Amino acid sequence: MKKFLLGRRGAGMAEAIIALVIITMITFAALTVIEAGTSANKKTGDYSDLSVIVNNGLETFKYTQNTSQFETVFPYERGVEGGSGDYYVSSNKYIFKQDYYVLTIELNYSSKIYNASIKSVKDSVEVYKLSYTKG
């Protein structure tokens, strides 16, 4: 028994390096999965935020008579509440830019039309469209 134990001196340098390489590979794989999940969560959150803005804008449009009233009541004058993004207004067009999507809301009170469109920033594909006519 002593002979058997004397021949083994614990883990050698080669085993330690192999173990370190395996642990490193597992760590990088886990970080990749976590990053992908975080990115998907952010993308879903951006879309959800913009969908809420579309619906709030529509409700605001339904009960206001002109652009001035709309801008007074519409709750998103500084961009998405609690979120990141940019907000622009130009001649009855409201644009919300976020990391993954761009929302454009167009108002035409004389024709009583509300249009909203959410497009992907990456490839400009329209992922959501809403048109409403008062009447």
Neighbours of 88 (CB within 10 A): 11
pLDDT of residue 81: 47
Q: Which position has the token pair 């006519």?
A: 133
| pLDDT in the model for residue 63 | 93
**Closest by CA position to 102, among listed 121, 86, 130:** 121
Angstrom distances, CA of residue 127 to CA of 13, 50, 100, 103, 122: 55, 11, 11, 10, 12
pLDDT for 55: 93
- Structure confidence by residue, pLDDT tens digits, 34-76: 999 998 998 998 899 899 999 999 999 999 999 889 888 887 6
Percent share of the chain, pLDDT over 70 = 84
Domain ranges of the chain: 12-133
State the Rg of the chain over Cα: 27
Cβ within 8 Å of residue 15, ≥6 positions away: none
Alpha-helical (H) ranges within 1-135 are 2-6, 13-62, 67-73
The reply to whether the predicted model has a pTM over 0.75 is no
